[in-house]
Amino acid sequence: MVVVQSYFVAVILCIITMLCWGSWANTQKMASKKWAFQLFYWDYALGVLILSLVLAFTMGSIGNEGRSFLPDLAQADGSALGSAFLGGVVFNLANLLIVVAIHIAGMAVAFPIGIGLALVIGVIVNYVATPLGHPLFLFAGVILVVLAIILDAIAYRKSRKEQMSTTTKGILIAILGGILMGFFYRFVAASMASDFADPQAGRLTPYTASVVFAAGLVVSNFAWNSFFMYRPVSGERATYADYFRKGDTRLHLTGILGGVIWSLGMTFNIIASGQAGFAISYGLGQGATLIAALWGVFIWKEFGKAEGLKGLLATMFLFYLAGLALIITARLI
């Protein structure tokens, strides 16, 4: 299988993760104009599974290092499989909550708050489990990201004064999703071998972990997404009949594309963790908040034209960039 051997390449993969995780929700924005986000999410989940399988049978099954996908899956013990699967279940609920928050409050607020909170919790949880990287630089970077999140919330509040009851609801849902999101990665990390090039028996390679994770996402979707379909927190009720009756090929492909984009980021991120460490790899990937905020501000115009926001938004972006730079540096010190 393909194994990353340098920190520089690992950082590049994490940057790709950042772009993927910060951009996939654009497909939701495009599809939600025509049908419910719950229906979009079925195609998204399918896309996650499809891309993980493609990478497992290609990058995960060539080369002389590590174990190929099918032999790796066959030798895995129950605890490793269960941990990766549980990661998919936890992530799916967290992500659905953030998708709901996006539907209510928009990308520019739901992503920075929900995913930003997940970054903070995820870095702490993964660093405690596997302390790799200089803690001062790592957590200083996390603090700057927290400050950026606060500035984002202030800016959005100023731009949407007339809609604060709805915005508050979206923020609360994003916070709940962010807390759950902060823990899913640890389950996936716990399932994987410590040395990807020479993995110990019973543990998973990143490619296999990604597939099992995706399986957990798809299976749990029958519980989590069915609940949001028939008991919607926001928007109208959706049914399984709607999925087949209202969706056309373009809508389905848009949802699948969203899942493919996110899944590419996930697999690259856990591949990179072999060199970067789980805390740094996850922290850099969740710099997706910056990418999502850029989409929300410049493409979707979610902050409107309220006065006095340019300084806040510029400072927010500077804090994000400085925080990410410190997180990268933490592995070099």
What would the 3-class secondary structure string for 134-152 be?
CHHHHHHHHHHHHHHHHHH
Banded model confidence at residue 208, pLDDT cuts 50, 70, 90: very high
Q: Which residue has the higher pLDDT, 148 or 206?
A: 206
* Residue 275 · residue 5 · CB < 8 Å: yes
Copy the structure tokens of residue 165. 């009851």
- Our count of domains for the chain comes to 1
Predicted confidence (pLDDT) per residue in 20-31, tens digit: 998 998 898 888
Banded model confidence at residue 310, pLDDT cuts 50, 70, 90: confident
Residue whose C-alpha is closest to residue 228's, from 220, 219, 237: 237
Q: Is 6 helix (H, G, I), strand (E, B) or coil?
A: coil
Is residue 296 domain-resident? yes
Is residue 1 domain-resident? no
CA distance 102 to 108: 8
Average pLDDT over residues 121-145: 93
Is residue 55 domain-resident? yes
Please tell me the pTM assigned to this model.
Answer: 0.91
* Residue 28 · residue 175 · CB < 8 Å: no
Give the model's pLDDT for residue 302. Answer: 66
Is residue 169 domain-resident? yes
Is residue 2 domain-resident? no
Cβ neighbors of 165 (< 8 A, separation 6 or more) are none
CA distances from 185 to 145, 322, 333 (A): 19, 24, 24
Residue whose C-alpha is closest to residue 126's, from 214, 192, 72: 192
Residue 162 has pLDDT above 60, yes or no: no
Q: Which domain holds residue 285?
A: 7-329
Cβ neighbors of 260 (< 8 A, separation 6 or more) are 47, 48, 50, 51
* Residue 163 · residue 303 · CB < 8 Å: no
Residue 308 has pLDDT above 70, yes or no: no
Average pLDDT over residues 236-242: 91
